[in-house]
Amino acid sequence: MTIKGRAISLAIFLALALAPLAPLSAVAGTITIKGSTTVQPVIQKAAEAFMKANPSVSISISASGSGDGAKALIDKTADLAMMSRDLKESERKLAAEKGVAPKLTIIGYDCIVPVVHPLNTAIDVSLAQLKDIYTGKATDWKALGSAQGKIVAISRDSSSGTYEFWNEHVLNKERVFAGALLQASNGAVAQAVSKNKHAIGYVSLAYAQTKELKPLSIGGVAGSAKTVLDKTYPVARALNLYTNGEPTGELADFIKFVLSTEGQKLVHEADYVPLQK
């Protein structure tokens, strides 16, 4: 190489060496998350905060029900399944057949709250009364000590983890009667109840915190962070994340963030119950 060529090469090297370096993200990659509309508000907040701190990570979230989250995990079309219920034995069996090893991480707690229109005079309802409403045995609000009128029962659809939990813990696995109106999400239930003074529905705690709805206590116990943690509220559950085996890389970092002090603050901000007070 000529002296002139060496000089040019040295100049290029020095220019590259002295150029300011762009900030590097701690982690990089893409995370696909699918499943529960209940867990989605928490994960949405966490994803936004995580991507802000790690610009090289892209997180896509789709919420259409816990059953869809389980299916996506088993079909390997999602890295993370959001679920407001546990995996069923049938789902675990199918996962094993497809070489998927579901690993559970609990990120917080929730409770399912019966809600009515603000003009409804009902205040409290028992588990037995709720079962009668959703199995079609109780049809008039007068029987529940409220203003007279036909009860319009609004339920989640069967792919929902909220529906599954309600069915097991309130209906004792009896079927919801055919006259109930089925909705695809917590938000859809909340909207339907807010527009009908004769309606009753059930939603996650985060969706009940609005002036457009009136939450009912169950057996004299109101759904709250306190009654969830002290286990006095009868319809409480965990917020679950499932991965295929032990998470690694950016997925492990994201889950670790959700479990961190900052992540648990986001659980609280989403009106759910953190793992600890």
Predicted pLDDT of residue 277: 64
Residue among 188, 136, 194, 141 nearest 162 (CA): 188
Tokens encoding 144: 């529940």
Mean pLDDT of the chain: 90
Listed range (114-128, 146-160, 181-195) with the worst mean pLDDT: 146-160
Confidence of residue 32 (pLDDT cuts 50, 70, 90): very high
pLDDT in tens, 221-239: 999 999 999 999 999 999 9
Tokens 């896509």 belong to which residue? 60
Q: What is the pTM of this model?
A: 0.81
What's the pLDDT tens digit per position in 65-118? 999 999 999 999 999 999 999 999 999 999 999 999 999 999 999 999 999 999
Q: Percentage of the chain with pLDDT > 70?
A: 89
Q: Where are the alpha helices (DSSP H) in the chain?
A: 3-18, 40-53, 66-74, 89-97, 127-134, 161-169, 186-194, 205-208, 225-229, 249-259, 261-269
CA angle 206, 108, 65 (to 5 degrees): 60
Domain 111-229: which CATH number of 3.40.980.10, 3.40.640.10, 3.30.70.1450, 3.40.190.10? 3.40.190.10
Start-end ranges of CATH 3.40.190.10 in the chain? 29-109+238-269, 111-229
Q: With a cut of 90, say whether residue 143 has pLDDT above it.
A: no
Residue 145 binned pLDDT confidence (cut-offs 50, 70, 90): confident
Query: Would the pLDDT of 155 be above 70?
Result: yes
The class level of CATH for 29-109+238-269 reads alpha beta
Name the band, by pLDDT with cuts 50, 70 and 90, for residue 7: very low
